[in-house]
Chain A
Amino acid sequence: MFDSLSDRLGTVFEALRKRGALDERHVNDALRQVRVALLEADVALPVVKEFIASIRERAVGTEVLRSVTPGQMVVKTVHDHLVEMLGGESEGINLTATPPIAIMLVGLQGSGKTTTCAKLARRLSTTQKRRVLMASLDVYRPAAQDQLAVLGKQAEVPTLPIVAGQQPVAIARRAMEVGRLQGYDVVLLDTAGRLHIDDEMMIEAAAVRDATNPAEVLLVADAMTGQDAVTLAESFHQRVGLSGIALTRVDGDARGGAALSMRAATGCPVKLLGVGEKLDAIEDFHPDRLASRILGMGDVVSLVEKASETIDQEEAEKLARKFEKGRFDFNDLAAQLRQMRKMGGMEGLMGMLPGVAKVKKQLAQSRLDDGVLVRSEAIISSMTKAERRNVRLLNGSRRRRIAAGSGTTIQDVNRVVKQYKEMSGMMKKMNKQGKKGIMRHGLPGMPPGPFNFG
């Protein structure tokens, strides 16, 4: 929907490709585009202004490196400064206090507190081996306490038994007491959603804080938040005192400029990112990645990381060996399709690649979605073992049978066969040229597969 900053700057600088250094007029033109790009990414205006002012100082007189355009130079300056403002290194959750350590989650209604609470609890109990107890202090929204109890079961993290009619501060005290008596390391307090201008509710939040002395007070905020982010973060910081920010729905397509606004307004680091509906969809915050995202530059690091996380190293090596020997059959193609699905499917992959906004739109229009992966797998599953090893067996009647067996059409089957042939063609070329050739060019008709990262 929005043009990325690099696109915007591209037009500004097209005319001045050959200049050696950036003079003030060019910088002003560029900064106007930076301003719009940041505002479209929902960075709050006061933050944008401050940002632009300090960029201006840096950019004027900067030598343009020979290998890049002035536009790229400005994008780099902006990117670096964004990273700096977002807070250098990523900071983890503070677990150094004496147990039971209270962690309190606050935020507006519907920002994702309860889900974040369960995700954090699961993460602390599994990867960090802490004994975690969760307690819901939301006595207002219907069934809110049930929600945390259900999520607790899913996350295999105990929740404080619900006592009907008990008020938030009393629940919080009881949670800490249970935490002490039963030897929990961490007690997560999930508070009710509240508006930052709701005096009564903000007093309540402060009272919960005073009763539990939390090591962390995390503001849970939606990545889609608009200009209001500054106001709400400031209010929560003033009234309750924040130690960090958890940004949710980062798996959406919002640029997430709100994170920058809130960081600037409170000085608190972003500590966690919610990246999906499942309970393991929680990540550490990386300033450089969010900076790229705000500027619409994609997120290559996440892609590579996700690839290395989900790809079975052994399987990838096996595949590579087969490649070298020139034996690559349908079983291997199926294995690769499975890998791609594990990495979040086409959409997941595309979202992380820089500069593919257009491709993404085309993909959406051509309806080339994850269904293609699933269908291709189904087609391969409908082949006999002999057919999977030897493509030459696939005559018309066999293809008809495969189409019927997989619930697809002959055209679909032909497409998979063609894809396979293209891949084995590449493979032969690779054997002639050596491995480097294929690494550089990638495979036709396929997004980056495991061997591109090997």
Chain B
Amino acid sequence: MTSKQGDENSSGWFGRLKQGLGRTSNSFSSGVGGIFTRRKLDEETLDELEDFLIGADLGAELSEDIRRDLSHRYFDRETSPDTIREVVAGWICKALTPVAQPLVIDPAHRPNVILVIGVNGTGKTTTIGKLAKQFRIGGKRVTLVAGDTFRAAAINQLKIWGERAGCPVVAAAPGADAAGLAYEGLRQAIADGTDILFMDTAGRLHNRADLMAELEKVSRVIKKIDASAPHNCLLVLDATTGQNALAQVEAFAKMLPLSGLIVTKLDGTARGGVLVAIAKRFRLPIHAIGIGEGIDDLRPFAAIDLANALVGLDRRDRG
């Protein structure tokens, strides 16, 4: 999609997100606006509000919480659509703000080993390509390990991203042992004086015990070289995913100490509302969001922006 990369780079990430969420917010905000043509907040209005939140993947339980909170404070009182939007955005923002933390690389560990994991098709390889470029621009020496030795052509895919980002890729033959490759990758990275080492992994469903054990083995093996590695363990989540994202976080966190999340495909109409539930339950940092297939389509995660985009508010200075 090279043709589309150039012209959209100039706008800020909020602009991009809004553009991505464009249709979503339109339907959503007109929806929220539509609800509050009545002046008083009554049961029916609350029902509709709850439905909207559920429609954004916030989940049944959380949506009910927000509804209760609103009902508590505003029931039977005169309200305006904007007030309600701000209250809901504020509520979501409060849940998300503590977890909106950028990915900070501790220079004390060199190389800083970043293991990137997740279920199939969430965008691990693409995310590594984008992150590698950002750190390259920041003047870091970055190496990639093509640890997805299972999926056909995943190694080539990462190699192409390596070329685009301008960093070397350590790879083995397809079907090779992922843990052995990780070991070799770290050994080479130390020899080359690499600052940051990204390790790609094969996508795996979180309920497959054998594949999850394999992941734990990768971590165990690299500890033989550096006991503090991996220094970061990033779980990549697809924003299109519904309530199952909670199960994913839970299962991966059980296997490896997760350090943070990256959420991809937020440029679609999926609203990623499950993040609010994840933030509340697991308190894991959300480092960045993916909003496109281009190498620059990765942005820091900002709580207020997502909260506002979810309820259809478009000014940044709220909250």
User: In the complex the two chains form, is B268's CB within 8 Å of A228's CB?
Assistant: yes
Q: Using an 8 Å CB-CB cutoff, how does the interface string of B207-250 with A read, 1 for contact, 0 for none? A: 11110000000000000000000000000001011111111001
User: In the complex the two chains form, is A141's CB within 8 Å of B293's CB?
Assistant: yes
Residues in A neighbouring B238, C-beta threshold 8 A: 110, 222, 224
User: In the complex the two chains form, is B267's CB within 8 Å of A195's CB?
Assistant: yes
Interface residues of A in 264-291 (CB under 8 A from B): 277
A35 to B151, CA, bound (A): 38
> What is the total number of residues of chain A having a CB less than 8 Å from a CB of chain B?
55
Nearest chain B CB to A75 CB, angstrom units: 18
Is B121 among interface residues, defined by CB-CB distance under 8 A? yes
A41 to B245, CA, bound (A): 12
Is B153 among interface residues, defined by CB-CB distance under 8 A? yes
Nearest chain A CB to B158 CB, angstrom units: 8
Residues in B neighbouring A200, C-beta threshold 8 A: 4
Residues in B neighbouring A347, C-beta threshold 8 A: 207-209
Is B271 among interface residues, defined by CB-CB distance under 8 A? yes
Stretch at the interface among A252-260, A382-390, A395-403: A252-260
Stretch at the interface among A52-60, A61-69, A147-155, A327-335: A147-155
Residues in B neighbouring A150, C-beta threshold 8 A: 152-153, 174
User: In the complex the two chains form, is A1's CB within 8 Å of B247's CB?
Assistant: yes
Q: Which residue of A lies closest to B64 (CB)?
A: A36
User: In the complex the two chains form, is A224's CB within 8 Å of B207's CB?
Assistant: no
- Given A1-B247, A252-B119, A277-B150, the answer on whether A109 and B156 have CB atoms closer than 8 Å is no
User: In the complex the two chains form, is A143's CB within 8 Å of B205's CB?
Assistant: no
Q: Which residue of B lies closest to A151 (CB)?
A: B152
Interface centre among B56, B238, B243, B265 (most CB of A within 10 A): B243
User: In the complex the two chains form, is B206's CB within 8 Å of A253's CB?
Assistant: yes
Q: Which residue of B lies closest to A257 (CB)?
A: B242
Is B157 among interface residues, defined by CB-CB distance under 8 A? yes
A146 to B243, CA, bound (A): 33
User: In the complex the two chains form, is B265's CB within 8 Å of A108's CB?
Assistant: yes
- Given A200-B4, A251-B205, the answer on whether A112 and B120 have CB atoms closer than 8 Å is yes
Is A421 among interface residues, defined by CB-CB distance under 8 A? no
Q: Using an 8 Å CB-CB cutoff, how does the interface string of B57-87 with A read, 1 for contact, 0 for none? A: 1011000000000000000000000000000
Q: Which residue of B lies closest to A235 (CB)?
A: B269
Is A40 among interface residues, defined by CB-CB distance under 8 A? yes
User: In the complex the two chains form, is A252's CB within 8 Å of B244's CB?
Assistant: yes
Q: Which residue of A lies closest to B209 (CB)?
A: A369
Nearest chain B CB to A365 CB, angstrom units: 10
User: In the complex the two chains form, is B269's CB within 8 Å of A42's CB?
Assistant: no
User: In the complex the two chains form, is A40's CB within 8 Å of B243's CB?
Assistant: yes
Report, as a range, how many residues of chain B touch the other chain: 35 or more
A140 to B247, CA, bound (A): 31
User: In the complex the two chains form, is A225's CB within 8 Å of B269's CB?
Assistant: no
User: In the complex the two chains form, is B269's CB within 8 Å of A228's CB?
Assistant: yes
User: In the complex the two chains form, is A143's CB within 8 Å of B242's CB?
Assistant: no
A302 to B79, CA, bound (A): 53
User: In the complex the two chains form, is B157's CB within 8 Å of A225's CB?
Assistant: no
The residue from A147, A195, A226 contacting B57, defined by CB atoms under 8 A apart? A226
User: In the complex the two chains form, is B240's CB within 8 Å of A370's CB?
Assistant: no
User: In the complex the two chains form, is B247's CB within 8 Å of A108's CB?
Assistant: no
Is A351 among interface residues, defined by CB-CB distance under 8 A? yes
Q: Using an 8 Å CB-CB cutoff, how does the interface string of B1-44 with A read, 1 for contact, 0 for none? A: 10010000000000000000011000000000000000000000
Residues in B neighbouring A154, C-beta threshold 8 A: 152
- Given A252-B119, A254-B244, the answer on whether A226 and B207 have CB atoms closer than 8 Å is no
Residues in A neighbouring B137, C-beta threshold 8 A: none
User: In the complex the two chains form, is A222's CB within 8 Å of B156's CB?
Assistant: no
- Given A108-B265, A109-B265, A232-B269, the answer on whether A42 and B152 have CB atoms closer than 8 Å is no
A148 to B121, CA, bound (A): 15
Is B51 among interface residues, defined by CB-CB distance under 8 A? yes
A111 to B203, CA, bound (A): 12
- Given A147-B152, A226-B243, the answer on whether A141 and B157 have CB atoms closer than 8 Å is yes
Is A249 among interface residues, defined by CB-CB distance under 8 A? yes
The residue from B51, B120, B160, B265 contacting A143, defined by CB atoms under 8 A apart? B160
The residue from A45, A146, A226, A255 contacting B240, defined by CB atoms under 8 A apart? A226
User: In the complex the two chains form, is A258's CB within 8 Å of B153's CB?
Assistant: no
A228 to B272, CA, bound (A): 9
Interface residues of B in 236-295 (CB under 8 A from A): 238, 240-247, 250, 265, 267-271, 273-274, 293
The residue from A36, A143, A148, A257 contacting B156, defined by CB atoms under 8 A apart? A143
Residues in B neighbouring A229, C-beta threshold 8 A: 242
A144 to B293, CA, bound (A): 13
User: In the complex the two chains form, is A140's CB within 8 Å of B209's CB?
Assistant: no
Is B122 among interface residues, defined by CB-CB distance under 8 A? yes
Q: Which residue of B lies closest to A195 (CB)?
A: B268
User: In the complex the two chains form, is B153's CB within 8 Å of A39's CB?
Assistant: no
User: In the complex the two chains form, is B157's CB within 8 Å of A227's CB?
Assistant: no
Is A142 among interface residues, defined by CB-CB distance under 8 A? yes
- Given A42-B242, A150-B153, A154-B152, the answer on whether A252 and B293 have CB atoms closer than 8 Å is no
Closest 3 CB pairs of A and B: A226-B242, A110-B121, A150-B152
Interface of B toward A, CB cutoff 8 Å? 1, 4, 22-23, 51, 54-57, 59-60, 119-123, 150-154, 156-157, 159-161, 174, 205-210, 238, 240-247, 250, 265, 267-271, 273-274, 293
Other A-B pairs, 16, CB within 8 Å; known A226-B240, A252-B119: A1-B247, A36-B60, A45-B54, A110-B120, A112-B121, A142-B157, A154-B152, A197-B22, A224-B241, A224-B245, A225-B242, A226-B274, A227-B242, A252-B205, A258-B242, A351-B207
The 11 sampled A-B contact pairs (Cβ below 8 Å) are A39-B59, A41-B243, A109-B121, A141-B293, A143-B160, A146-B152, A147-B151, A150-B153, A222-B241, A249-B205, A277-B150
